[in-house]
Amino acid sequence: MKIKYSTMIVKDMDESIKFYTEKMGFEIDSQYNLPQATITLLKGEGEVFLELIKNQENEVGLFSIGIEVEDINKEVKELKSKGIEFVMEPRKISVGSMALFKDPNGANIVLIQHDQ
């Protein structure tokens, strides 16, 4: 497992993109306009992305840490054997599959398996 994303819920996507690109040096990697959300992936140095999401469902602020896995079903099974309860079982998303659980502090941890 490796950390792939830090996800932030934003109130103003344009302002957030401007801040992270012009002031912090990130570059836009990709953008998605979905019915329920607007998503922008920003790339800095290394392999980790900052994911900005604007939607009406979540409070503004740090939302989750995304961890990339090779086999999501295997990882979920292994984590469940260690007592982790999943808030969301693996499901298909636009880039592959994802599942979600919370750490002891209530932080969202998202497992992501990208389509090859």
pLDDT one-digit tens code per residue, 45-78: 888 899 999 999 989 998 899 999 999 999 999 9
Proportion of the chain above pLDDT 90, given as a percent: 76
Average pLDDT in the chain: 92
User: What does the domain layout of the chain look like in residue ranges?
Assistant: 5-114
Q: How confident is the model at residue 26, as a pLDDT?
A: 92
pLDDT at 27 over 80: yes
What number does CATH give the domain 5-114?
Answer: 3.10.180.10
pTM greater than the 0.85 cutoff? no
Task: Give the single-character DSSP code of 47.
Answer: T
pLDDT > 80? residue 29: yes
* pLDDT score of 63: 87
Residue 74 main-chain phi, psi, to 5 deg: -65, -45
